[in-house]
Amino acid sequence: MALVQYFCNSELKWGSDPEVFVVDGDGEILPSWKFLPPKEKAKPFTRPEIDFGVSAFTDGFQAESRNTGGWTCLQWVIYAIRLGLRNILSEAQKHQGAAQFTQENTPVVKKDYLENEPMENVMLGCSPSHNVYGLMGDFPGNPRKLKYRFAGGHIHISHFRHPDRIERYVKALDKIVGIYFVAAAAGIDNPIRRKYYGQAGEYRKPKWGLEYRALSNAWLIHPAVAHLAFILARGVINLVDADLDKLIPFGDELTIETINNCDVDFARKIVRANRDLLTAIFMNGIKYYPYSIGLKTTVPCQIKGLSTLAEKGILNFIPDVHNWEKNWCLNQAEWPEERDKGSHEWRLLCPKLFPEMLSVSVPAIAAV
Long-range own/partner contacts, residues 65-69 (CB < 8 A, 24 or more apart): 65/17, 65/18, 65/20, 66/15, 66/16, 66/17, 67/15, 67/16, 67/17, 68/15, 68/44, 69/15
What span, in angstroms and rounded, lies between the C-alpha atoms of 111 and 342? 46
Query: In angstroms, what is the C-alpha Rg of the chain?
Result: 20
What span, in angstroms and rounded, lies between the C-alpha atoms of 12 and 39? 27
> Model's pTM, two decimal places?
0.93
Residue 215 CA, distance from chain mean position: 6
Q: Does any domain span residue 362?
A: no
Q: Does any domain span residue 7?
A: no
Closest C-alpha among 248, 132, 265 to residue 200: 132
Residue 98 three-state SS: coil
Please count the CA atoms within 13 angstroms of the CA of 106 that sit on its side-chain side. Answer: 16
Q: Does any domain span residue 365?
A: no
- Domains of the chain: total: 1
How many residues are there in the chain?
368
Q: Does any domain span residue 279?
A: yes
What span, in angstroms and rounded, lies between the C-alpha atoms of 69 and 86? 18
CATH number of the domain encompassing residue 141: 3.30.590
Sheet bearing 155-158, strands edge to edge: 13-16, 155-158, 209-212, 202-204, 130-131
What is the span of the domain harbouring residue 277? 13-353
Cβ–Cβ under 8 Å, residues 335 and 345: no
Residue 58 three-state SS: strand
Residue 330 three-state SS: coil
What span, in angstroms and rounded, lies between the C-alpha atoms of 59 and 31? 9
What span, in angstroms and rounded, lies between the C-alpha atoms of 83 and 328? 10
Q: Does any domain span residue 349?
A: yes
Q: Does any domain span residue 1?
A: no
User: Which pLDDT tens digits describe the chain residue by residue (368 residues)?
Assistant: 444 567 788 889 999 998 999 999 999 999 999 999 998 888 877 655 455 778 899 999 999 998 766 889 898 899 889 989 999 999 999 999 999 999 999 999 999 999 999 998 998 866 678 999 999 888 778 999 999 999 999 999 999 999 999 999 999 999 999 999 999 999 999 999 999 989 999 999 999 999 999 999 999 999 999 999 999 999 999 999 999 999 899 999 999 999 999 999 999 999 999 998 999 899 889 875 443 444 455 578 888 999 999 999 999 999 999 999 999 999 887 777 767 666 689 988 988 888 765 555 555 565 44
40 CB-contact burial (10 Å; exposed 0-12 / middle 13-18 / buried 19+): exposed
- Can you spell out the DSSP letters for 206-238? -TTEEEE---BSGGGGSHHHHHHHHHHHHHHHH
Q: Which amino acid is at 317?
A: F
